[in-house]
Amino acid sequence: MRVFLCEKPSQGKDIARVLGAGQRDNGCYSGAGVVVTWCIGHLVEAVPPEGYGEQYKRWALEQLP
């Protein structure tokens, strides 16, 4: 079984349709060896610049390639 985690319900519904997961359950779609579920809100967010390196905490033109 493969599980697909989507960012929002509408995205989960679209992906489930394409994958043939037509059985609607509580918080997921299932079928054809797959389960498609979702969260509410963003799953990923950008790391602040200092997360890549302390030198990026303050922006400077010299740091650009």
Lowest average pLDDT, out of 33-37, 47-51, 57-61, goes to 57-61
Average pLDDT score over residue span 3-28: 96
Pairing mode, strands 34-38 and 2-6: parallel
Strand order in the sheet with 28-31: 2-6, 34-38, 28-31, 23-25
Mean pLDDT computed over every residue of the chain: 91
| CA gap 58, 39 in Å, rounded | 34
* Confidence grade of residue 56 (pLDDT, cut at 50, 70, 90): confident
Partner residues linked to 37 by β-bridges: 5, 28
> 45 pLDDT exceeds 90?
no
Q: Report the pLDDT value the prediction gives residue 14, as an integer from 0 to 100.
A: 97
The predicted model scores a pTM of 0.66
Amino acid at 58: R
